[in-house]
Structure 1
Amino acid sequence: MFTTSRRNLLLSLGAGLGPVALSNLLQAEDKRSAPLALQPPMFAPRAKRVIMLFMEGGPGHMDTFDPKPELTRRHKEESKLPGGLAKGYKFFVGSPFGFRHAGDNGIQMCDQWKYLADPYVANELCNYRGCQAESLNHPEALFHMNTGSRLGGDPAIGSWVTYGLGTENENLPAFVVMTELALPQGGSTNWSNGFLPPYYQGTRLRPEGSPLLDLKTPGHRMPAQQRRMIEELTKLNQRHLETLSAEDERLQARIANYELAFRMQTEIPDVIDCDTESEQTLKMYGVDEPDTDAFGRQCLLARRLVENGVRFVQIFSGGWDSHDYLKQGHTSRIKSVDKPMAGL
């Protein structure tokens, strides 16, 4: 029978830590040399890509997917419950909308959802009612939702997904963000890389005109000339990089961004050209319809991006902070996103 002392056992275990540490260091080196390379998942994945639709301003849960019959019964009754505001009278206010069951899985929706309530769509939905906020202020709440920190500055959810899994297409950004003309409250902090390397920052596509500036090579410059210019610029940057700390990855990210921008010039024009879709598909997303065209095009583009290997796409839809005009505001906003969501 084999026996050993506790001291020898600890010594043996300690000796085995060297190869483990070396393996981790080598993996970290590989990560730095190709930060967006496809990464093996820690667990068997059920999903490969994410499209996240974020309704900025906060659709009322009791006005969309979470009916409160007791609240309706006590409508306009004065409330003695503690609230977020110290002064003034407080009243219970029921939802102005009715509710109905949609599909066969028990989910309930307000009566303003037309396309999303179709059983073919509703049966694929999962309604989670356990989400809570820790702040009444919009920027802090957005930071909390997108980065996990109310103060902002931490990596966004898309940055974490990209960091963990890499990208499936090195010619396109791994993490893409689409907004309306006005940025969401808190701005680009909502898709920041935080303390992760700069490679994992979200890339915003503009809502009007060309989604990306300078997408086309100037007419007087041939692609081969553009390629040589990038190569020479990379050499200069690499020379400067040798004078910097190995921990400073900002210039490395800048070099990688120039390379990505050059590759995108050849691939992304076809990806963002939604007009190549069939008339039936455009209609399904509400494209060219006054109320749904803008959000419909974004949803359709999101689908095309993930089909071409983009890992994480986030779309912000604003205007949901309805306050005193809740019925009019929510009715209008639901109409603008209902059909595109169902199409997606």
Structure 2
Amino acid sequence: MSFLLPKTRRQILQQSAIGFGGLAMQALLAGEATSENPLIARQPHFKPRAKRIVFLFMKGGPSHVDTFDPKPLLDRDHGKPLPFAGPKVTFAKQGNLLRSPWKFQQHGDSGLPVSELFPQIAKQSDKLCVLRSVHGTNPAHGAAALKLHTGAEQLVRPSFGSWITYGLGTENQNLPGFITICPTLAHGGVNNWGSAFLPSHCQGTPIGNASLPATQANVKYIDNPHLSLQQQREQIDLIRNLSQPFQESTDAQEALDSRLNSFELAFRMQTAMPEIQDLSQETTTTRSLYGIDDAVTEDFGRQCLMARRFLERDVRFVQVTHSDSFVQWDQHSNLYQGHTKNAAEVDRPIAGLLQDLESRGLLEDTLVLWGGEFGRTPTSQGNNGRDHNPHGFTMWMAGGGVKGGFAYGATDDYGYYAAENKMHVHDLHATILHLLGLNHQRLTYRYAGRDFRLTDVAGVVAKDILA
């Protein structure tokens, strides 16, 4: 008995040239790429407010009640027990209420309150859309980080940078569509920027990691000391020719195409990447704006300036992580010392990034997202620390079609639980996709017999924050 192998897409196109024009038109109407390059820019579902996104990830969980969510009753009732029931499951033992050691002040025309921890970001307050009611479910760093990055806390799922790259592709074919600068290797590690079951070209390209200074954050092996560009070109062409029979006769076509396209992208990156990472091309004024002239802000400033250079070259998704080798903002003790140090390292670079994007006309269609995997409790650990709090915390956005100088949602009077206009992580993801012109319910990928999406079976767009 003999079996006929199913025809591949390549074979069908080769044998059905008369219908090729119809197939091309169908692909165009569906917003799909007709090129062999899977990263080619794709049409969004509807007109986007933002074309690209930069995520400033504060690893470890910055305290919302000490940064962007002032709580007067927390000051008044300092030292008293929490006047309502706390969650059944907590990460560590908690004490009584702990007031913030930092004062809040209103800033800008909007009067948005910002803690004295961030004097430079406060000057940009009219650009900020502060989301005070974000919430998740898990108080552990690993699960919460995975939830924020992938929408799932227990299973390996594609990161939201990968979903965005899958949905929109990239407008610069010489660079990856998704770049993560100095990512943390802890608490989810590569899964936080991985593509899981999405095509491999959607995964993030890491530059350095959190254990290395930003001066060492480079793409490895970007220069080939053994082969010239012409020899490398001939080598890739040979590999493609040798693989063609396997692509046409097996089910491995997609995997082979992805591998070959990764070779092609790596080849093109050799000329594009070194120029982007050469910050000496920037003026002294610009370098100073990002704090590269100060030992305290130099490291994160370099990351933010590098991010701007990728964004202006139309990389779709750029992540910048503020972390040491473990959990930078995780102040279970030494809250005052730790948050003071961390805020000083990021305040000037982030304010510089916002100012620079605006001056270059990029902020209007670039979505800036800031935050950590959760917030911290209004109750104390010891006399100078706070526990993990996924039940209500703050993130903020800027640019990219959101209202500036605006606060959305609220936690309770002490800052423990999201209480008003609650925004679950799925809602956050749905809103980000909406700003980029993607309907989160339509952005699906079929795998293992079911259709998956970033927001699973949930997600509501927070339309009140749209400009």
Which interval holds the TM-score relative to the shorter structure? 0.7 to 0.9
For residue 34 of structure 1, the aligned residue among 34, 37, 55 is: 37
Distance change >3 Å, CA 145–CA 89, structure 1 → 2: closer
Q: Deviations over 1:270-297 (max 9, x none)?
A: 1111111000000000013111111101
1:4-23 pair list within 5 angstroms: 23=26
Specify which structure has the bigger relative contact order, considering alpha-carbon pairs within 8 angstroms and separated by 6 or more residues. 2
The reply on whether 1:225 has 2:231 as its aligned counterpart is yes
1:98 equivalent in structure 2:
103
1:285-324 pair list within 5 angstroms: 285-318=290-323, 319-324=328-333
For residue 86 of structure 2, the aligned residue among 82, 86, 89 is: 82
Deviation for aligned residue 1:24? 6.9
| Bigger helix share | 1
Q: What amino acid is the match of 2:261? A: A
Q: What amino acid is the match of 1:100? A: Q
Q: TM-score, normalised by structure 2?
A: 0.64
1:136-155 pair list within 5 angstroms: 136-155=139-158
Runs of 5+ consecutive residues of structure 1 not aligned to the other structure: 1-18
SS at match of 1:126: strand
**Contact 2:223/2:270 (CA < 8 Å) preserved in 1?**
yes
For residue 215 of structure 1, the aligned residue among 192, 208, 222 is: 222
**Contact 1:191/1:201 (CA < 8 Å) preserved in 2?**
yes
**Contact 1:184/1:316 (CA < 8 Å) preserved in 2?**
no
2:247 equivalent in structure 1:
241
Deviation for aligned residue 1:152? 4.1
Distance change >3 Å, CA 339–CA 26, structure 1 → 2: closer
SS at match of 2:55: strand
CA distance in 2, matches of 1:210, 1:71: 41
User: Which protein shows a greater Rg?
Assistant: 1
Deviation for aligned residue 1:89? 6.3
Paired residues, number: 320
SS at match of 1:314: strand
**Contact 2:182/2:217 (CA < 8 Å) preserved in 1?**
no
Distance change >3 Å, CA 32–CA 157, structure 1 → 2: farther
1:52 equivalent in structure 2:
55
**Contact 2:181/2:207 (CA < 8 Å) preserved in 1?**
yes
Q: What amino acid is the match of 1:34? A: N
The reply on whether 1:333 has 2:342 as its aligned counterpart is yes
Distance change >3 Å, CA 27–CA 102, structure 1 → 2: same
Deviation for aligned residue 1:166? 1.1
**Contact 1:140/1:152 (CA < 8 Å) preserved in 2?**
no
**Contact 1:178/1:205 (CA < 8 Å) preserved in 2?**
yes
RMSD: 2.4
CA distance in 1, matches of 2:196, 2:94: 42
Distance change >3 Å, CA 88–CA 330, structure 1 → 2: closer
CA distance in 2, matches of 1:26, 1:243: 29
Distance change >3 Å, CA 150–CA 310, structure 1 → 2: same
For residue 254 of structure 1, the aligned residue among 251, 254, 259 is: 259
**Contact 1:237/1:255 (CA < 8 Å) preserved in 2?**
no
The reply on whether 1:192 has 2:197 as its aligned counterpart is no
Runs of 5+ consecutive residues of structure 2 not aligned to the other structure: 1-21, 209-213, 354-467
CA distance in 1, matches of 2:351, 2:98: 29
Q: What amino acid is the match of 1:253? A: S
Q: What amino acid is the match of 1:343? A: G
Q: Deviations over 1:171-198 (max 9, x none)?
A: 0000000125x52421010011122111
2:288 equivalent in structure 1:
283
Deviation for aligned residue 1:28? 8.8
Distance change >3 Å, CA 30–CA 78, structure 1 → 2: closer
**Contact 2:31/2:44 (CA < 8 Å) preserved in 1?**
no
1:10 equivalent in structure 2:
none
